[in-house]
Amino acid sequence: MPQDEKQYLVGKTLVELQDFCATIDEPRYRAYQLFYWLYTKQVAVFADMTNISKKLRSRLTEEAGIHVLEEVTRTESETGETRKVLFRTGDNQQVEAVLMKEGSRITVCLSTQVGCKLDCQFCATAEMGFARNLTVAEILNQFLLLQKISPERITNVVFMGMGEPFLNYPRVIGAAELINHQEGINLGARKITISTAGIVPQIRRFGSERQRFKLAISLNASDQATREKIMPIARQYPLPELLNSVREYYDITRNRPTFEYVLMAGINDSQEDAVRLVKLIGGLPCKVNLIPYNEIGGRYRRPTDEKIEVFLELLYNAPFTVTVRRSKGIGINAGCGQLAVSRN
């Protein structure tokens, strides 16, 4: 069978695998076997599915496939704690994903789109433009292939790679649900974080559906004018509307959101910015994650360590949790905001 006519099984739900089995005249229980081998055992070839007949394994090898992505290159940081992998899709698009180790935590950062259409000024992915959404299979395949190269079991997933996850909402949720599925990969919902630059209707949808996955919002400014300057999406969804949607999300789910705040020199790192940030968020139960900017060769710069410390001190008595994330993998362009591939 020609390669492009094959059905690839990674990314399919149990129901979809049952439908697939029906098309090849196999009983429904085969779907449970396939689900087990794909997501619990995470095999790469049909030959390893040992409780399936040799005849069917041969047929599956001929007519179907497992992985939809192909690894192109792998880059490792000097410490060996961060690995960035470039993947190629079936239609010759390319996306990057990152594997990071910090203590006992093994985190993967997954991409959800080829490029991004939001044009955030400080993000390398914006320079790619936008090609298309990734499928559930392509998103999930990043996880499975990163798990293969990880020396330990992945403990955390963040949808914070290339693209805006909430502009690919159904597929991102579908991939998260398969990662969370108790009879498959079985990673806890609270170990899975979905990030958004502030797509208000989808934040409201995320809350109304009572999704159990964690929500992170890329805030990056404490006033509307600054946010519009660095994040054009702010013109469509102004700060008051964004904050109202996040409060609604908390009121419905009682899950604390995380606000990501990338500190950029002379843009959003002043003492006035810090004071405004506390006032903006107010008493909303949440976490604020400060991320010193990872430079990508553009006009934005990382604040000095002294400036970062002053900003942090002004948040010391804030009524919310504050953390500082020192991005890993900066030397291999695997840090927050650094993912991008050439489309030439």
**Residue 164 is a catalytic residue:** no
**Residue 16 is a catalytic residue:** no
Cβ contact 45:34 at 8 Å: no
The sign of the torsion formed by the CA atoms of 259, 261, 267, 269 equals positive
Which candidate in 109, 116, 120, 336 is catalytic?
Answer: 336
3-state DSSP assignment of residue 5: helix
3-state DSSP assignment of residue 214: strand
Which candidate in 21, 26, 96, 286 is catalytic?
Answer: 96
> Crossing angle of helices 239-253/200-208, nearest 10°?
10
Cβ contact 292:263 at 8 Å: yes
- What span, in angstroms and rounded, lies between the C-alpha atoms of 132 and 92? 12
Torsions phi, psi of 57, nearest 5?
-60, -40
Cβ contact 242:227 at 8 Å: no
∠ CA 40-104-72, rounded to 5° = 60
In DSSP notation, 85-125 reads EEEE-TTS-EEEEEEEEETTEEEEE---EEE-SS--TT-GG
In the structure encoding, which two tokens stand for residue 91, read together? 């239609």
CA atoms within 13 A on the CB side of 179: 35
Torsions phi, psi of 98, nearest 5?
-130, 140
* Pairing verdict, β 156-159 and 192-196: parallel
CA atoms within 13 A on the CB side of 116: 30
- What span, in angstroms and rounded, lies between the C-alpha atoms of 85 and 90? 16
Catalytic positions, please? 96, 336
